Amino acid sequence: MKFIHTADWHLGKIVHGVHMTEDQRHSLYQFINIVEEEKPDAVVIAGDLYDRSVPPTEAVELLDEILYTMNVKMKTPIVAISGNHDSAERLSFGSSWYRHSQLYIQGRLSDSFEPVRINGVNFYLVPYAEPGVVRQLLDDDSIHSHQDAMKAIAGKMEESLNPNEPNVFVGHAFVLGGQTSDSERALSIGGSGCVSSDCFDAFSYTALGHLHSPDAIKNPKVFYSGSLLKYSFSEAKQKKSISIVNMENDGSFDVTYRSLSPKLDMREIEGSMEELLDPGFFQSQNVEDYLKVTLLDEGSLIDPINRLRQIYPNVLHLERKWDLIDSKRKQSFSSVKDEKKSELDLFETFYKEMTEREFDGLKRDTIASVIEAVKKEEAVK
Amino acid sequence: MKFIHTADWHLGKIVHGVHMTEDQRHSLYQFINIVEEEKPDAVVIAGDLYDRSVPPTEAVELLDEILYTMNVKMKTPIVAISGNHDSAERLSFGSSWYRHSQLYIQGRLSDSFEPVRINGVNFYLVPYAEPGVVRQLLDDDSIHSHQDAMKAIAGKMEESLNPNEPNVFVGHAFVLGGQTSDSERALSIGGSGCVSSDCFDAFSYTALGHLHSPDAIKNPKVFYSGSLLKYSFSEAKQKKSISIVNMENDGSFDVTYRSLSPKLDMREIEGSMEELLDPGFFQSQNVEDYLKVTLLDEGSLIDPINRLRQIYPNVLHLERKWDLIDSKRKQSFSSVKDEKKSELDLFETFYKEMTEREFDGLKRDTIASVIEAVKKEEAVK
C-alpha cells in the first residue's frame, strides 16, 4: 500500500506582504503531477491546509480546485486533518458529503478514535486541539499540557487498535527534537507545546504536520513531511519535498522523497551594492526569486532597496551587516541572563522580533499591568 | 411534483446585540418537521443562508447539521443559491461533492445556465451577483443596473429552455413592487437595485429571496417565501412561513403556506410604565419575547429599561413617545426638500437611522471630503 504524506500548505499565506496563492497553485499542480505518476492509494495531509481560520476567497477556491482534481477526477482517496492555523469547523463543513468519494477531512477530535481504513491501512486522524479541549472531551482533569493530551489520545487509540495491522497516526503537533523555523517558533515559547515522540510508539508510521522541515525530527517511525513551500527566510536552506511511503501488511515501510520546485525560490544573498548590481553576479541566477539581501557596505547608502529592486524585483527583506553586528552586540549584553528573563522581558524580546519596532514606555506599562492582572487571577485560583 | 420554497435564513444574525443562533435552530427543526410531513421532492433555498460572508462558527455548524439532516438522512434533494449576504465562494466550497446526494449549492453564475432537473422540473439557480460581474461574464457592456443584469440572465435562459416543461427560476433580488423592511432597506437607496417582475415571464414559478415578507409582492408567478424569522421590528407584524408548491407537468401550480412559530416572538408593545408593569397586562403574554417598547409617560423616568427588564428580560429597544413626536416634528421641517437632498444630507439621514447617534461636525467634514474626492475622480473619468 502506497500513500503520500504532505502537510502545511498554508493556503492564503502572506509572506512579507506578498500573497503566495500563485506560488502555491504552481507547487500544488506539481504535487498533482506527482500523484499522477505515483498513483498512491491515499494522500495524507497533516494539517494547516489554510494559513488562517478565515482564509482569503482565492485560497478557498484553490483548495476546492486541488482537492476536486485529486479526489474526484483522479479518484485518489484523501485523509486530512485541521491544524492550528485552520478553523476546524470551517474546514470540515460538508465533510459528511465528502466521504462517499473517500475524501476525509477531520476537524472533530471526537470522531478520531474510529480509524479510516484504506487498502488495509488504518488511518487515525487527529486534528490539532488545545489541551483544554482534550481534557473536556476525554473527561480527564489530569490533562494540562499538549504532552498530556497527546499521550491520552494515543493511549485511548492503543486500547482498541489491532497491532497486527498497519496503523498510521496523522497528527499536527510540535514533537520534541524537531528543528523549528521562524514560521513556527512564535507559537511555542517555553516548550509547553511540545510532545514526546514516544507517544506514537504503538503506530507503524506517524505522519506529522506543524514543523516546516522534512528532516525536523530523527526517528525511525515519526516523520514530518515539511511544508509545501518555504514560508520564511529561516527555511531558505531547506529542501521541500513530499514523502512517498510504501507500507507492507505488517506495518513495515520505506520512505522516498519527491522534491518540489517552487515557482520562485526563497533565498538569501549577501554582498556589497556594487557586487550585487554586477551583471557577472546576477546573470547566473533567477533574479525574480524572493530575496533577503544582506548588504556589506559600510556608511550611508541612498535608497538601496529601490536600486536593488531594479534588478531583483522581489527583495522582501533588506539588512545591513553593520546594523546586524550592532544589534547582536546589544543582544549579547543581556543574553547571559536569558534563562531567567522576566515575563515582561521575554515579551519585549518577542515583540521586537515580531514587529521590528521599539517596545516603548507606554507599551511596557500596558503589558506589565496585563501580566500583573493574570498573576493575580492565577493566585486566586 | 412538490417543492418547498424558503429563503433568508440569515444564520449567524445578531439583532440588537442578541445572537439568534438558538432561535434559528428552533425554527429550522420546525422546518425539518414540516419537510418530514410534507415529503417534498425538493427544498429550494433562495439565498442568504448566512447573514454575512464570514459567519460565526456556530452558524457554520448549524447549517452543516440542518443540510445533513434533510439531504443525507432524509434524502431530500436541495437546491440553494448564495444571496447578497453570503460569500459565494465560501458557501459553495465542496459543492462538487454534494451533487451525488442531490444537494446543489450554486455560487457561480457561470454554472447557472444549465438547470438542475428534479422530478421533471428544471431549476435555474441564479446566485446574487453585482451588475459588473454579470457584464463581464456575459461580455455585454450595456449591463449597468440590476435590472439590465437580470434581464440578460433570464433572457439567455429563455433562449434554451423548453417552454413545454415546468421551469423554476431561483433568484435573490429586489423585485419591483415588493414591500421592504428595515433589514433590507439600507441596501437599496435610490432604487438602482430594483428588478421588474416581467424579467421572469418565461418561467412557471420564480422563487425569490431578499425581501423578508412572504407577501412582499403580488404577482401570479413571482414569489418571495419570506425569511425564517423576524429580523427587525419593522417585520414585527409579519407572519413568517414557508411555501409549499405543488406543480403539474404543464407548469401550473398551487401554493399553500405552513407557518413557523419562533422560539421567541419579536413584538412591539406600548403603554405607560405603570400599565406595562401591571401583572394584569403582562401575565397574558410571553414576557420572554424580543420587545420594542414605546413608553407613553411624559417627563423624566429613572432607569426605565432596567425596570422593564425585570419583567421583560428581552427588551431590545426602548422609545419614548415624546421623543418620537419631537423628532418627527424636526423631520417634517426638512421633508419637503427630501427629493433634492444632497449626498451629504442623505448620508446624514442614513447614519442617524442606522446608528441612532449624532452626526457631528467632524463626521460631517470627513464625509464631505470623501464625497468631494469621489466627485473629482468621477469628473476626471
Name the percent of chain B lying above pLDDT 70.
89
What's the rounded Cα separation, in Å, for the pair B60 and B67?
11
B331 occurs within a structural domain:
no
CATH number at residue B181: 3.60.21.10
Provide the pLDDT confidence category of residue B349 given band limits of 50, 70 and 90: confident
Work out the burial of residue B54: count CB atoms within 10 Å of its CB; fewer than 13 is exposed, 13-18 middle, 19 or more buried: middle
3-state DSSP: chain A helix, strand, coil percent, rounded to 5?
Answer: 40, 20, 40
- For the record, the C-alpha cell of A158 comes out as 492503543
User: Which residues, 6+ apart, have CB-to-CB distance to A193 below 8 Å?
Assistant: A146, A173, A174, A187
Separation between Cα atoms, residue A273 and residue B119, nearest integer Å = 72
The answer to whether the CB of B166 falls within 8 A of the CB of B250 is yes
| Average confidence (pLDDT) over A166-187 | 74
pLDDT-based confidence at residue A188 (cuts at 50, 70, 90): very low
Mean pLDDT across B164-173: 97
Measure Cα distances from B95 to A104, A169, B91 in Å.
Answer: 15, 29, 8
Q: How far is A109 from chain B (nearest CA, A)?
A: 15
pLDDT band at B344 (very low <50, low <70, confident <90, very high): confident
Closest chain A residue by Cα to residue B104: A97
Same domain, A112 and A83: yes
Q: Do B61 and A94 touch (CB under 8 A)?
A: no
Residue contact B93–A93, C-beta within 8 A: yes
Tell me the residue range of the domain where B349 lies.
338-380
- What's the pLDDT at B351? 79
Q: Which residue in A68, A94, A103 is closest to B64 by CB distance?
A: A94
Q: Which candidate, A8, A2, A378, places its Cα nearest to that of A226?
A: A8
Residues 48-87 of B with CB under 8 A from A: 54, 57, 60-61, 63-64, 68, 71-72, 87
Asked whether the predicted pLDDT for residue A51 surpasses 70, the reply is yes
Residues B225, B258: contact at Cβ < 8 Å? Answer: no
CB contacts < 8 A (A, B) = 53
Alpha helices, H only, A161-276: 182-185, 273-276
The answer to whether the beta carbons of residues B89 and B81 sit under 8 Å apart is no
DSSP, collapsed to helix, strand or coil, labels residue A127 as coil
Judged by average pLDDT, the poorest of A116-125, A353-362, B325-334 is B325-334
Instruction: Write down the mean pLDDT value for chain A.
Output: 89
d(CA A149, CA A173): 11
pLDDT digits (tens, 9 = 90+) for B228-240: 999 999 999 999 9
pLDDT of residue B373: 85
- In chain B, the residue whose alpha carbon lies closest to the alpha carbon of A96 is B68
Confidence of residue B325 (pLDDT cuts 50, 70, 90): low
Is residue A19 pLDDT above 50, yes or no? yes
Q: Compare all CA atoms of chain A with the CA of B68 and give the residue at the minimum distance.
A: A96
- Reported as a pLDDT band with limits 50, 70 and 90, residue B190 is very low
Work out the percent of chain A whose per-residue pLDDT is above 90. 75
Q: Is the dihedral of CA B264, B268, B269, B272 positive or negative?
A: positive
Quote the cell numbers at residue B313.
428580560
Q: Are residues A356 and A274 in the same domain?
A: no
Q: Does some domain include residue B328?
A: no
Q: Which of B60, B63, B98 sits opposite A97 (nearest CB)?
A: B98
pLDDT for residue A354 is more than 90: no
Percent of chain B residues topping a pLDDT of 90? 75
Grade residue A186 by pLDDT with cuts at 50, 70 and 90. very low
Q: What is the pLDDT of residue A356?
A: 65
H or E segment to which residue A159 belongs: helix A146-160
How much is the average pLDDT of B339-364?
77
Instruction: Report phi then psi at A162, rounded to 5.
Output: -95, 110
Do B189 and B125 share a structural domain? yes
Residue type, A47: G
Residue A103 reports pLDDT greater than 50: yes
Name the pairing type of β-strands B266-271 and B253-259.
unpaired
pLDDT of A333 over the 80 cut: no
The answer for residues whose C-beta is within 8 angstroms of residue A39's C-beta and 6 or more apart is A2
Q: In whole angstroms, give the CA distance from residue B189 to residue B94.
A: 35
Residue B333: inside a domain: no
Neighbours of B141 (CB within 10 A): 8
Using the predicted structure, report yes or no on whether residue A98 has a pLDDT greater than 80: yes
**β-pairing verdict for B290-295 and B266-271:** parallel
What pLDDT sits at residue B182? 59
Minimum-distance CB partner of A90 among B60, B97, B101 = B60
* Residue B86 and residue B166 in one domain: yes
- Residue B128, pLDDT above cutoff 90: yes
Q: Does A140 touch chain B (CB under 8 A)?
A: no
| Whole-number pLDDT of residue A337 | 46
CA pair distance B305, B307, nearest whole angstrom = 5
As a whole number, mean pLDDT of residues A216-237 equals 94
Asked whether residue A331 is domain-assigned, the answer is no
Task: Please tell me the distance from the alpha carbon of residue A45 to that of residue A35, in angstroms, as a whole number.
Answer: 13
Provide the pLDDT for residue B375. 81
Q: Test A97 with B94 for CB contact under 8 angstroms.
A: yes
Give B96's contacts in chain A (Cβ within 8 Å).
Answer: 64, 68, 72
Residues of chain A positioned with their CB less than 8 A from the CB of B90: 57, 60
Pick from B54, B64, B93: CB nearest A64: B93
Examine the domain organization and report whether B247 and B315 are in the same domain. no
**Shared-domain flag, residues B130 and B240:** yes
Cβ of A97 and B72 within 8 Å?
Answer: yes
| Same domain assignment for residues B225 and B292 | no
**Domain ends where: A259, A284, A305?**
A259
Give the range among A271-280, A325-334, B280-289 with minimum mean pLDDT: A325-334
Tell me which residue of B1, B35, B10, B5 sits closest to B169, measured CA to CA: B5
Q: Report yes or no: B323 at the A interface, CB cutoff 8 Å.
A: no
CA distances from B275 to B153, B283, B290, B320, B323 (A): 55, 12, 18, 14, 19
Q: Are residues B60 and B11 in the same domain?
A: yes
- Which one-letter amino acid corresponds to residue B89? E
Residue B32: other Cβ atoms inside 10 A = 17
pLDDT tens digits along A285-298: 999 999 999 999 88
Exposure class string for B127-140: b at 16+ Cβ within 10 A, else e: bbbebebbbebbee
Q: Minimal Cα–Cα distance from B54 to chain A, Å?
A: 7
Q: Assign A331 a pLDDT band (cuts: 50, 70, 90).
A: low
Q: How far is CA A194 from CA A136, A179, A215, in A?
A: 20, 12, 17
The grid coordinates of residue A8 equal 502545511
pLDDT at site B183: 57
Say yes or no: A317 and A357 in one domain.
no
Q: Is residue B332 part of a domain?
A: no
Mean pLDDT, rounded, for A207-212 = 96
What pLDDT sits at residue A311?
96
For the record, the C-alpha cell of B296 comes out as: 407613553
Would you state the cell numbers that stand for residue A120, as one nine-digit string?
Answer: 488495509
Same domain, B286 and B186: no
Nearest to A72 among B60, B71, B96 (CB): B96
Residue scoring higher pLDDT (A362 or A322) = A362
Question: Does the pLDDT value for residue A136 go beyond 90?
Answer: yes
Amino acid code (one letter) for A75: K
Three-state DSSP class for residue B289: coil
Q: What is the pLDDT of residue B364?
A: 86
Does the pLDDT at position B181 exceed 80? no
Lowest mean pLDDT among A52-61, A370-379, B22-31, B279-288: A370-379
Nearest-CA distance from B53 to chain A in Å? 10
Query: Is a pLDDT exceeding 90 seen at residue B348?
Result: no
Do both A224 and A299 map to the same domain?
A: no
Q: Is residue A73 included in any domain, yes or no?
A: yes
Name the pLDDT band for B135 (thresholds 50, 70, 90). Answer: very high
Q: What pLDDT, on the 0 to 100 scale, is given for residue B151?
A: 95
Nearest to A97 among B57, B61, B97 (CB): B97
The pLDDT tens digits of the residues spanning A295-316 come to 998 888 888 999 999 999 999 9
The domain total for chain A is 3
Nearest residue of chain A to residue B93 (CA atoms): A64
Residue B238: inside a domain: yes
Q: What is the DSSP letter of B279?
A: H
Q: Residue B268 has what pLDDT? A: 96
Residue A111 has pLDDT above 50, yes or no: yes
Which amino acid, residue A351?
Y
- CA B97 to chain A, closest CA, distance in angstroms equals 6
Tell me the nearest-neighbour CA distance from B9 into chain A, angstroms: 18
User: Given an 8 Å threshold on Cβ–Cβ distance, is A101 in contact with B97?
Assistant: yes
Statement to judge: residues A90 and A207 lie in one domain: yes
Per-residue burial over A8-17, b = 16 or more CB atoms within 10 Å of its CB, e = otherwise: bbbbbbebee
Query: With contact defined as beta carbons under 8 Å apart, do B91 and B50 qualify?
Result: yes
d(CA B124, CA A289): 47
Beta strand A116-118 with A2-6 is: unpaired
Say whether residue B282 is in contact with chain A using an 8 A CB cutoff: no
pLDDT, position A299 = 80
Residue with cell 456556530: B58
Q: Is residue B327 part of a domain?
A: no
Using an 8 Å Cβ cutoff, are A93 and A14 in contact? no
